[in-house]
Structure 1
Amino acid sequence: MKLKYLVFSVATALVLGVSGLPSHQLSAQAGEMSRPQMNDGAVSKQKTGMFVAAEHPTQGAVSIINEKGKRYLVFDKTFRSDMGPDLHVILHRDATLPKGGLKKADYVTLSRLQKVSGTQRYAIPNNVNLANFRTVAVWCRMFNATFGYALLPTTSTAQR
């Protein structure tokens, strides 16, 4: 009788212990365990770089990824820059950028900057040949001022 009570108590404790975890935590743990180790080709990271300051403090990592045949520029959660008017995300041809005075022929604008911190992503148009660009920058169009930029290492897989 005492053995049955002990087994029942241990089983109850185990069930209650597992059910005490929030459901999102259980599913996250299960997802980590069942996640395949091989990349299925749906998303692939091609280029990465780290932002450096120019006119304003700018930091964080940036990647170029392929997802289902489309390319995106992705700022990670550590991205930070100052606020400013008319901020844009651009790809530039040179490895280093001047603080100001960019020439229109040297860059392509991807989009207005979505926010000054945190994760964000920008579509790269199909007609943009990444082999022609060395950096990504946060740039103020109104004052032609580079807030910060990141070098994108060249890789043959990212070129189109």
Structure 2
Amino acid sequence: MRSVLGRPAGVAVVAVVVVAAVVGLYWFQPWKIWQDETVREALPGTSVGAAPSGGAAASPSAAPSGPSASASPSTPAGPAKLAAGELISHEHKTSGTVRLLRLPDGSHTVRLENLDTSNGPDLRVWLTDAPVKEGRAGWHVFDDGAYVSLGKLKGNKGDQNYALPAGVDPARYSSVTIWCDRFDVSFGAAELIRA
């Protein structure tokens, strides 16, 4: 009789342990500690292979003439830097540069350059109004005020771009964080210093 009672209890314990292990693996994703994802995106708003203006390849006969020739509107050469900052480490060692850019079409993007941080579950790039604080004091401040999620972190290393949604005023925000949404903690952050 004792083996009959012990058997269902043993099966229940094993089932609970298996479910807990599966949930724990999903939640913490420990294998990401050893996986690096490198992204190398080009600087947005620049055209690759475009001929430089006023180059030697232009033929004199192809040059426009008349009053409209000198009155052509000037177009920006590329993205304009509005603000920039250096990433500091929080929960995980993090380094790199953050730039807030206005593209020639008037849209805005956050660019991470030379990013180097740990991989982790559910990492996001947030534009926030929170102050960047050193050490543990800065780990949890970024969800206290206003923030805009710019999407999932594309990779934990390299150069990458994150477009601001239409209607977001970049002047309202003063920092960028690599935010772990699963555990509500900053991996690293940068104060945006206006250009």
By the TM > 0.5 criterion, same fold?
yes
Mark the runs of 5 or more structure 1 residues left unpaired by the alignment.
Answer: 1-27, 156-160
> Hey, what's the Cα distance between the residues in 2 that align with 1:102 and 1:153?
17
Alignment of 1:1-160 (within 5 A): 40-41=75-76, 42-67=78-103, 68-76=105-113, 78-97=114-133, 98-100=138-140, 102-103=142-143, 105-154=145-194
Aligned residue pairs total 120
Q: How many Å apart are 1:102 and its aligned residue?
A: 4.3
Contact 1:48 1:64 in 2 (8 A): yes
Residue 131 of structure 1: SS of its match in structure 2?
helix
Give, as a single letter, the amino acid of the residue that structure 1 aligns with 2:185.
Answer: A
> Hey, what's the Cα distance between the residues in 2 that align with 1:95 and 1:105?
10
TM, length-normalised to structure 1: 0.67
Identity of aligned residues (%): 28
Partner residue in 1 for 2:69: none
Contact 2:110 2:164 in 1 (8 A): yes
Contact 1:101 1:144 in 2 (8 A): no
Cα displacement string for residues 34-73 of structure 1 (whole angstroms, at most 9, x for unaligned residues): 6xxxx94142122111100011111011111122221111
Residue 89 of structure 1: SS of its match in structure 2?
strand
Mark the runs of 5 or more structure 2 residues left unpaired by the alignment.
Answer: 1-48, 56-73
Cα displacement string for residues 4-57 of structure 1 (whole angstroms, at most 9, x for unaligned residues): xxxxxxxxxxxxxxxxxxxxxxxx9x97xx6xxxx9414212211110001111
Contact 1:91 1:134 in 2 (8 A): yes
> Hey, what's the Cα distance between the residues in 2 that align with 1:75 and 1:102?
18
Choose 117-126 or 42-51, whichever is displaced more: 42-51
> Hey, what's the Cα distance between the residues in 1 that align with 2:141 and 2:89?
16
Q: Once superposed, what is the RMSD of the aligned Cα atoms?
A: 2.2
Q: How many Å apart are 1:126 and its aligned residue?
A: 2.4
Residue 132 of structure 2: SS of its match in structure 1?
coil
Q: 1:101 to 1:50 in 2, by over 3 A?
A: closer
> Hey, what's the Cα distance between the residues in 1 that align with 2:83 and 2:140?
25
Contact 1:93 1:132 in 2 (8 A): yes
TM, length-normalised to structure 2: 0.56
Residue 163 of structure 2: SS of its match in structure 1?
strand
Give the 4+ runs in structure 1 shifted more than 4 A. none
Q: How many Å apart are 1:121 and its aligned residue?
A: 0.2
> Hey, what's the Cα distance between the residues in 2 that align with 1:102 and 1:95?
8
